Amino acid sequence: HPTSLSSAWTRRARIDYGTATAQLGTSPGGDGVTWGPDYGVQVPDKSWWYADAAKLRLAHFSKAGAYLGQVTLPKKYLTSGIYFQWNNPIALANGSVVLSSTSSSPGLLVLSKSQKLKQVSLTRYVHATVTDGVFLYGFDENNHKVRVNPKTGAIKGVSSFTGQGGRSFTIS
């Protein structure tokens, strides 16, 4: 068990794991170990969305960890109608959350601020690493720097990325 945090650290939120709706789910990971969601993102209103694969949903929590609700993924957004194949949530400036596909079909799943889901196809896999609030930036499957429009799925080669402050930068 971990020791207590030093005085330099302050707990901001606590979200428990369990079977209750207000808790995050866990999945078997082998050797008796269970895994919880690895992916969460804070949106502009300071609340958090977690990709909760065990419960086939996106779970919503306040910045203090209070449960705010969920968006259950319909079967059409699950691989073979049963597998949650979405990760790496990124928040856009408009409050949307964009997740990347880990299935055999490259794509994005966009959750709008009004909690509507939309699947966007991509012509190739992209590992998005940053956003300027509108576009996603990252590397495609050939390790080229790219910009992705999460509304259309259009992928464009770029020489640099742009962060939320509008500054260009590169990663190599």
Query: Does the pLDDT value for residue 32 go beyond 90?
Result: no
Residue 13's pLDDT is 84
Query: Does the pLDDT value for residue 1 go beyond 60?
Result: no
Per-residue pLDDT band for 2 (boundaries 50, 70, 90) equals low
**The pTM is what?**
0.90
CA distances from 14 to 18, 26, 127 (A): 13, 16, 29
Burial of 86 (0-12, 13-18, 19+ CB in 10 A): buried
Residue 96's pLDDT is 98
Question: To 10 degrees, the CA torsion angle through 43, 163, 86, 13?
Answer: -40
What's the CA gap between 72 and 77, in Å, rounded? 10
Which residues, in sequence order, are CB contacts of 121 under 8 Å at separation 6+? 105, 106, 107, 153
**Any idea which of 5-9, 109-113, 159-163 has the lowest mean pLDDT?**
5-9
Per-residue pLDDT band for 9 (boundaries 50, 70, 90) equals confident
**Any idea which of 26-40, 64-78, 119-133, 157-171 has the lowest mean pLDDT?**
26-40
What does the mean pLDDT of the chain come to?
A: 92
